[in-house]
Amino acid sequence: MRVQGIEAIAVDIPLRKNFGGSTYSVLKRSTVVTRLTTDAGITSEVYNGDNREHAPDIVRLIERELAPRVTGIDAFAVERAWQVMFDLTHASRERKTLLEAIACVDCALWDVTGKALGKNVTALLGGERRELPVISIGGYYMEGKTLADIGREMEGYRAAGMAGCKFKVGGLAPEEDFRRVEAARMAAGPDFVLAVDANRGWNAQDAIRFARLVEPLDIGWFEEPCHWYDDAAMMALVRRAIRIPVTAGQSEITSHGVRRLLDAGAVDFVNYDVSEGGGVTDWRRAAALCHAAGVKMAHHEESQIASQLLAGVPHGTYVECFADPERDPVWQAMWANRPPVKNGMMGVAREPGFGIRLDWDMVRRHRVN
């Protein structure tokens, strides 16, 4: 079975309000759909990422740079195909965007491989779990949002079947963000997973101060607590000073970057994002490094991909989503056969490959290329 061609489609869906964190704004939901065809008549149906700035560039890279290099390659030879694509990074100045394009093609290859073998990606990785705990990303900063609003937000996530919430912090002084998290815990109750995500918003001293304030609130993990420029060293300092597990990895674009975090002793969880880091092929390398180091695997967003991966490794943990219907219309509607969420658990698709079926009318309405 050989690769015959690749089509990529950039999708942009405007949002009605800003779903921003401490260091960024979110005004639209973007993704890239990849249709890789084979001479066996098998076609991928997969989407990757939420790149709000460069999705058309990703499409261009896939169709003009990557497709000519992988067309004709044995679709089962995922390592060979990945290396052929990755070799382009040596001369590229836009490596992050290129790795996102590689991720789209690599995930499409895993999808058609699974379809050809009649196995889902979880099974291809050697796993067999059929469901995983699911949490919603939330706690966004919005003008006029009150502590009572935060409480209602948490109640909404519980009603949607979520096991917990990853709550945005890092945009205010530690004491102010503590009060927001305290309101979330009071509304959610003690059996609700509550994690915090600073999106690299603080220095080490402020991160430690905040962590010590929220430690009594039973926080599941503290994600990306420190500024980008020396994050591994600062996170290691924070990790030694607090009792809350530290998470990072979504800002890395290779498994080598994940190894940097492990070598620094900076993390308890790694949430390496398959759509940022070159696809399943490199994600499983990162997962192997973490397993050897005794570090758990999480994943940044992308439950349509992450559920298969985390169910496929013994140290996989929580799947993330956006339970607010206004934040992620792709998850809510474009992913037409999304597995059900109930009692804090999300099913893992049993269909071959990633098992994704898309609403193609919706894709066509929102395509930008």
With 0.85 as the threshold, say if the pTM is over it.
Answer: yes
Q: What is the mean pLDDT of the chain?
A: 96
Res. 364 pLDDT band, cuts 50 70 90: very high
Alpha carbon distances (Å) from 353 to 108, 177, 294? 9, 41, 28
134 and 282 co-located in one domain: yes
pLDDT in tens, 313-354: 999 999 999 999 899 999 999 999 999 999 999 999 999 999
Q: Rounded to whole angstroms, how far apart are CA atoms 279 and 308?
A: 13
CATH number, domain of 56, equals 3.30.390.10
137 and 72 co-located in one domain: no
pLDDT of the residue at 220: 98
188 and 268 co-located in one domain: yes
Select the more confidently predicted residue: 18 or 61: 61
81 and 210 co-located in one domain: no
233 and 89 co-located in one domain: no
240 and 330 co-located in one domain: yes
pLDDT in tens, 247-297: 999 999 999 999 999 999 999 999 999 999 999 999 999 999 999 999 999
The domain tally of the chain equals 2
108 and 144 co-located in one domain: no
7 and 25 co-located in one domain: yes
Region 90-94: mean pLDDT is 87
Q: Please calculate the CA angle 239-322-219 and round it to the nearest 5 degrees.
A: 30
Q: pLDDT over 70 for what percent of the chain? A: 100
Residue 40 lies in a domain: yes
pLDDT of the residue at 70: 98
Is the pLDDT at 21 greater than 80? The verdict is no
239 and 136 co-located in one domain: yes
pLDDT of the residue at 93: 81
Res. 312 pLDDT band, cuts 50 70 90: very high
Is the pLDDT at 48 greater than 90? The verdict is yes
Res. 23 pLDDT band, cuts 50 70 90: confident
155 and 225 co-located in one domain: yes
pLDDT in tens, 187-236: 999 999 999 999 999 999 999 999 999 999 999 999 999 999 999 999 99
Res. 40 pLDDT band, cuts 50 70 90: very high
Which residues constitute the domain of residue 14?
3-118+358-366
Residue 353 lies in a domain: no
107 and 129 co-located in one domain: no
159 and 254 co-located in one domain: yes
